[in-house]
Every structure is written in structure tokens, then in C-alpha cells.
Amino acid sequence: MIDLTTTLCGIKLSNPLVLASGVKGTDKEMLIRIAKEGAGAVTSKSCSLEPREGHENPTVLDYKYYLINAVGLSNPGVEEEIKELEYAIKNCPAPVIVSIYENSVERFVLLAKKIEKIKPVMIELDASCPNVKGKLFCSCASSAAELVSAVKKEVKIPISIKLSAAVADIGQIAKECQDAGADCITAINTIPCMAIDVWARKPILTNKYGGLSGQAIFPIALRAVNQIREYCTIPIIGGGGVYSGEDAAAMLMAGANAVSVGSALYRYKFAFRKIKRELIEYMRKMNFEKISDIKFA
């Protein structure tokens, strides 16, 4: 019998596959549906204190091996989102992680305290979305650590900080976040990028720049997760271009404790069922009985 269960900051997951933030929004029924389709945990789309309209269309470009998006963290604001999230947390068959975004440490703290009241299993600090203006908290170790420390002082539930591979040394940044009190690291976010229509002679995205995801970033994500594991002992939710069971196995082998799945949902109607089935088949062929068996030789 193959055992897919794993733990994340003391939270038991039926399998290591986690819905990535931003892919299916915060609609309560959608989060519950994804959990029923096989996700071991689900992460909501990042919310902020006040409503955000996001960017004008086009915001998502779907190419063969990758996606580019510049949605802009659109959301109705925390007071409205709490209504959806509270229902999802109480009725979802899988643990719910809530992602949050703000533009200052003080606002992040205020937002985290509001979210803690509805008791998700974890709060994910979106410190690395490339589709917003201004300096990102993930861009240097001191900024990321300052954010983690401030939030950790005010909330009791586990927190994870979502980092970007578009930095000089993601491992060192993760290490300082761990030292500052982070319970978990989520990596990676989308990679800053651009698309140009050469016939119209202008950028395709209204926002000009966007975030790259999908199969094209999978090798980048593997390297980032492995670098974080070399520096850190806390759990890692690793993701970026995971489309198959073998991809998930590779992410676990690189050092992740759980595997986030996002853009694959644009390719496959039942992505979690597919990846879970393929992961089981891989483990069967390798004579692995449990998730912890998946490691380097």
C-alpha cells in the first residue's frame, strides 16, 4: 500500500499536492471543488486590506510551454474575502492556506491579524508577485526577514513566505526568513517577463510586464527549491511548472515537503487527479511506500 500522506508544519495532508495561490481565486465552492478533486491542501488567491481592481485586459497569455500573466492581485478586499474564506475553511475536505499581500510591513501585519481570526492552517505572505509596482520584500534578505519577524510577532498560526527565483541567492534569503521565525518557505513565484506583438509593435500585456509560469520555469524552480533546502531545515512548498507525477517526484527529491500546482490546471481539466495518479505509479515502479522515500540516491 502506497502512503501519500505528509505533514507540513504539523498539518497532516492526505497527499503532498497543494493548489497554488492565484489560480482558482478565493471562491469558496471552487476551493472546495479542487480539494475534492485530489488536492492535499488549497491556497487562496492573495487578498489585501482594500479592494484591488488589478490590471486591464489582456492579463493572461497562454502559450504552448508557458503562461504569462499580469492580473495585478485583483481582489475584493479582506472584509469581503473573509466571508468566502471562512466558509471554505469550515467546509473544505483539505486544509486551507490563505495568501495575503500588502505594500508595507505594517499593513501586512494588520492583514495577517484579520486573517488569523478565521483560523486557516497557515498564512502565506506573498512577498514576490512581479505584477505590482515598487520594491518587492523578497528582493533582499533583510526586507524579507523584517516582514516575517513583524508578522510572526503578532500571529500564532504558521506562516510561510513566498519567494522569487529572480534574486541573486534565494537560499540565503530563505535562511534569514527561517532565522526570523518563518515556519515554512513557498517557492517559487512567477518569473518577471515580457511579451511583445511585433506586428502591432507594442507590448501585449496592458501592464507591459508580467509573470512567467508553466513548464518553462520548472528547471528554475527545482534549482531554487534545492538551494533553499541546502540552507534551511523548515518545510518547503515547492512549485513552478509541475505538470506530471514525475515533476512532483522531482520537486520532492529537490527538497520540497509539499508540491504546489498552478498552471497545470490550464492544461488539464482534472490536473490533481492526473498528477496524483502518476505520482502513485512512479512510486509503485520505484518500490516506494511513502513520500519520504522519494529522495536522492
Judge whether 129 counts as a catalytic residue: yes
Q: How far apart are CA 107 and CA 112, in angstroms?
A: 8
CA-to-CA separations, 13 to 3, 184, 214, 246, in angstroms, rounded = 11, 15, 24, 19
Q: Counting beta carbons within 10 angstroms of the beta carbon of residue 159, is it exposed (0 to 12), middle (13 to 18) or buried (19 or more)?
A: buried
Name the catalytic one among 47, 92, 129, 232. Answer: 129
Q: How far apart are CA 106 and CA 150, in angstroms?
A: 8
Q: Which of 123, 94, 100 is nearest to 6 (CA)?
A: 94
115-120 long-range Cβ contacts below 8 angstroms, 24+ apart = 115/47, 115/78, 115/82, 115/85, 116/155, 116/156, 116/157, 118/82, 118/85, 118/86, 118/89, 119/89, 119/157, 120/85, 120/89, 120/95, 120/96, 120/157
Considering all CA atoms of the chain, what is the largest pairwise distance in Å, rounded to the nearest integer?
A: 57
Active site residues: 129
